[in-house]
């Protein structure tokens, strides 16, 4: 299955949005990994939820898909984007990100999160496993969300904003 950057090929603005989003994602995934090593019940889940509730809107912003950005589009283009969101099936694009939406997204990786919870109580090796699973879980959700954003932007023929410089 292609990753978000591969899906954005042939569109420089989409590629730049993916690269900027990946920088954000990598930073958040490292924080999730560190939080996963702390043997306090539920702390890592709370950190993951907080990270995702901030990360998803930031990724949406990179692709021009926040509620505020969509409100600025002309009605015809806004309707195209909403149709594309429906086709893609994302519940995280163009919406204010609530706790319930984060829980729905996290449910997609529930087994990984449960493994992370159990593993961190095994001294040292378990904490490494928990950190790796925590990192991978956030990376997976972020990558899947970026792929949804690329699909929506392509389907709606949306002009992605040039918000910054991709490295």
The pLDDT assigned to 115 comes to 56
Per-residue pLDDT of 48-65, as tens digits, reads 888 888 999 999 999 999
Length of the chain: 167
Phi, psi angles (nearest 5°) of residue 28: -70, -35
Per-residue pLDDT for 150 more than 70? Answer: yes
The pLDDT assigned to 44 comes to 75
Q: List the chain domain ranges.
A: 4-155
Per-residue pLDDT of 106-145, as tens digits, reads 665 555 555 555 555 556 666 777 788 888 888 998 999 9
Instruction: Please provide the DSSP assignment of 38-98 as one string.
Output: S-STTHHHHHHHHHHHHHHHHHHHHTT-SHHHHHTS-HHHHHHHHHHHHHHT-SSSSS---
Say which range, 79-88, 96-105, 134-143, has the weakest mean pLDDT.
96-105
């Amino acid at each position: 299955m292609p990753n978000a950057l591969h899906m954005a090929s042939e569109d420089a603005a989409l590629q730049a949005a993916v690269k900027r989003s990946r920088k954000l994602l990598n930073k958040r995934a490292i924080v999730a990994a560190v939080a996963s090593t702390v043997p306090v019940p539920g702390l890592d889940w709370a950190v993951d939820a907080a990270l995702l509730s901030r990360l998803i809107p930031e990724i949406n912003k990179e692709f021009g898909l926040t509620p505020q950005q969509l409100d600025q589009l002309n009605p015809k283009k806004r309707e195209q984007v909403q149709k594309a969101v429906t086709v893609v099936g994302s519940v995280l694009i163009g919406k204010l990100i609530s706790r319930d939406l984060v829980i729905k997204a996290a449910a997609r990786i529930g087994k990984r999160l449960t493994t992370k919870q159990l593993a961190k109580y095994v001294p040292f090796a378990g904490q490494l496993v928990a950190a790796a699973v925590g990192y991978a879980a956030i990376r997976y959700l972020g990558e899947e969300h970026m792929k949804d954003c690329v699909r929506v932007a392509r389907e709606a023929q949306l002009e992605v904003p040039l918000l910054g410089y991709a490295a």
